[in-house]
Amino acid sequence: MKASLPVPHQERIENTGEPEEENRGALRARLWVSLAAVGVLLVLGFWLRWRHIQNVSLHVDEFTTLWAARRTLELGAPLMPSGVLYTRGLLATYVTALAGALAGLDYTTGRLPALFFNLATIAAIFAIGQREWNGRVAWLAALGLTLLPEAIVWGGRARFYAQLQFFTLLTVWAAFWAVKAADAEKGWNKALFKRQLLFSLFFLLALFSQEQTILLYPPLLLGMALWRGWRWPLRREVWPAHALILAGMGVRYLIEIFGQPGFFETIQAERPYVTPRFDVATAWPAYAPLLTAPERLPWTLAALLAVGVALVTLAQQRRRFAWLGSFHQATLFFAWPFLFVLIFILTLVGGQWREARYLFLVQPLWLLAGAAGAVWLIEALLAREPWRWATTLALSGVVVWTGWQPALAAAMRQVEGYDRAFEYVARHRQPGDVVMTPQPPACAFVLGEPCDFYAVQRIYEEFVINRDGILVDRWSGARLLNRTAQLEATLRRAPRVWLVTDAFRLATRYESDFQRTVIEQFDIAFQERGVMAMLAQGWRAQPAYTLERAFDPPLRFGRLELLAWRGAAPVIGEPLHVELTWRAAAPIDRQLNTSVRLVSAEGAVLAQQDGPPAHGVLPTTLFFEVALPDRKALSLPAELRPGRYRLEVVVYAPDTGAVEEGPLPIGEIELR
């Protein structure tokens, strides 16, 4: 006889000959224990996600969902002012709109559907783990999902990822439930037909939550064929469900093509979804932390153990999947879609779409496989049930100990504060003010109407559409402003102009002349969480510079290099205007300030001004190869005598006072 691996304990109440009432009592006791366990996890999960909802600013994509939900409440469909349909997370948009209809649409109510679906996923993973494996797998997997940082984040954001994950988990379970249906009878199998329809229903709900669901269909179809044979999908109880799924895919595609004309083609041209480069080495760093971070690596190793044991058992069963016990069957069936999606995104997904969130929909499958591996090892080493549960609870303590700090950090990790900045603009905006931003959906939702301009110069093609010869933002209808000449004309024409942006986008989405105009013409009226509300009040004339000097090669000040400087004609008793032009000479990891000093021949500092370059609009950590201005105004004392004086510059870290470089002379001025 062949040696066989230990069979995991299934925790089923068998007919042992005991009185029926005792069996019922055991079932009731187990039910109450399960409900208590789920209740504890739901309370903990709610607390973590509620902290995120109450304290963390909205991610920029959340405003798009909320704006689409508002349009749905107004029009019955997420039809944007530009005339296009917002198709991303179509079902989630309606769910968010429903929450808004019931309780008023705001930041909190807009995030509540995600909270609901994420908590429902915790309950679902527990129920599935208990049904298909055992109570220990259920507990560990649900605990892992409760503390999973990504689940906390997406369970507290007004986006479709929590809803997608919920329906994905139910889709995989329904597919597994369907292949387990008895099919020995020759006639019509009503139970199998119902299970297949349930599978198709969950798949379509996931598909209309987010189109990434399409990635699930190939592995699930292959899994069904492996379990029941290649002809099984053609059975009359099975094929109608797949016909519904294929029809749903077709409808989803048509909605995309006709609802957003040109969007799919533009994305494929600018940053394609699929590029068969098979560059795993480049893609792996984006996803590796999800699997190999210190607190996650044990889950991954345990999942590999569970799959390995199940495959060995499968070989012992002559590669007949249906002959395996439920424990090993579930392990292989649930792990396979996760592995397929991981391989797909590592090898075929376009480089600009390599983000950790695209693995989120199948992370519960990884948790279930990891929990199965841990439980199998416990049950292989320990024979007595009390010791198995004691070890499982001890392992739970380790999960909490390693996962608590990452969970807390996720619950409070801030994002760009566009909500705060636009709320400030809403409070201080005056009639006739012009508002521009690279985030028009946020502007439209907070202000209640579209902004005047979608201001951006790079990476905007997929977000605009031509309307009557004018490029406008797809989601809000705001007119595209992508040239410096347009910005200057607006500043000269309008009495007041607001620009709401974050420093990173200002540093990376605009050309140098646009950046220079912003630095020269705008003042920071409000700044919080990395986002600035800048205000320009009419065109501001620049000083008449009469002195100029360029450096070739540039004058090095540590990690900054000075390209040139220019100055206005010096007048005793008047401010001396000096403008330095800087760029980064090396990567900068801290804020650096500059000090411009007027120094006598004897070395005495007679006047100086300190401050951040670029008017503080861009931190030096975002200085790159683009040349940026640094304007200073030195107050010249009235008692200065005519003569020649040196200009010196110091670059230093304002937080510590540590000098990066200087003082170094950059030129001379003559007072007459």
- Domain CATH code at residue 604: 2.70.50.60
- List all residues 6 or more positions away from 672 whose beta carbon is below 8 Å from its beta carbon: 642
Partners of 631 in beta bridges? 579
pLDDT, residue 22, reads 66
Report whether 598 contacts 614 (CB < 8 A): no
Instruction: Report yes or no on 139 lying in a domain.
Output: yes
Do 307 and 422 lie in a common domain?
no
Instruction: Report yes or no on 15 lying in a domain.
Output: no
pLDDT, residue 231, reads 87
pLDDT, residue 73, reads 97
Instruction: Report yes or no on 595 lying in a domain.
Output: yes
Segments of the chain scoring below 50 in pLDDT:
1-3, 12-17, 184-185
Query: Residue 567 corresponds to which tokens in the numbers above?
Result: 């100055």
Can you tell me the distance from the alpha carbon of 634 to that of 607, in angstroms, rounded to the nearest whole number?
Answer: 6
Helix (H), strand (E) at residue 52: helix 20-55
Do 574 and 532 lie in a common domain?
no
Can you tell me the distance from the alpha carbon of 400 to that of 112, in angstroms, rounded to the nearest whole number?
Answer: 25
Helices 135-147/20-55 angle, 10° precision = 10
Do 529 and 621 lie in a common domain?
no
Can you tell me the distance from the alpha carbon of 66 to that of 110, in angstroms, rounded to the nearest whole number?
Answer: 6
In angstroms, the Cα distances linking 91 to 477, 537, 543 are 23, 43, 56
How many domains in the chain?
3
Report whether 437 contacts 452 (CB < 8 A): no
- List all residues 6 or more positions away from 430 whose beta carbon is below 8 Å from its beta carbon: 496
Instruction: Report yes or no on 2 lying in a domain.
Output: no
End-of-domain residue from the set 515, 536, 557: 536
Do 388 and 437 lie in a common domain?
no
Can you tell me the distance from the alpha carbon of 167 to that of 146, in angstroms, rounded to the nearest whole number?
Answer: 17
> Taken in order 100, 102, 104, 107, is the CA torsion positive or negative?
negative
Instruction: Report yes or no on 304 lying in a domain.
Output: yes
Do 123 and 47 lie in a common domain?
yes
Instruction: Report yes or no on 6 lying in a domain.
Output: no
- List all residues 6 or more positions away from 640 whose beta carbon is below 8 Å from its beta carbon: 572, 606, 671
End-of-domain residue from the set 491, 513, 536: 536
Report whether 142 contacts 41 (CB < 8 A): yes
Q: Provide the phi-psi class of 453: left if phi over 0, else alpha when psi is between -120 and 50, else beta.
A: beta
Do 631 and 606 lie in a common domain?
yes
Do 492 and 594 lie in a common domain?
no
pLDDT, residue 269, reads 66
Do 149 and 215 lie in a common domain?
yes
Instruction: Report yes or no on 8 lying in a domain.
Output: no
Do 382 and 431 lie in a common domain?
no
- List all residues 6 or more positions away from 235 whose beta carbon is below 8 Å from its beta carbon: 183, 192
Can you tell me the distance from the alpha carbon of 584 to that of 557, in angstroms, rounded to the nearest whole number?
Answer: 10
Can you tell me the distance from the alpha carbon of 426 to that of 418, in angstroms, rounded to the nearest whole number?
Answer: 12
Do 403 and 435 lie in a common domain?
no
Query: Residue 638 corresponds to which tokens in the numbers above?
Result: 């009235």
Do 401 and 446 lie in a common domain?
no
Do 226 and 258 lie in a common domain?
yes
Q: What amino acid is encoded at 53 in this protein?
A: I
Instruction: Report yes or no on 7 lying in a domain.
Output: no
Partners of 479 in beta bridges? 453, 472
End-of-domain residue from the set 536, 566, 592: 536
User: What is the pTM (predicted TM-score) of this model?
Assistant: 0.90
Host domain of residue 388? 20-412
Helices 217-228/326-347 angle, 10° precision = 140
- List all residues 6 or more positions away from 234 whose beta carbon is below 8 Å from its beta carbon: none
Q: What angle do CA 523, 593, 639 make, to 5 degrees?
A: 85
What DSSP designation does 191 have? H
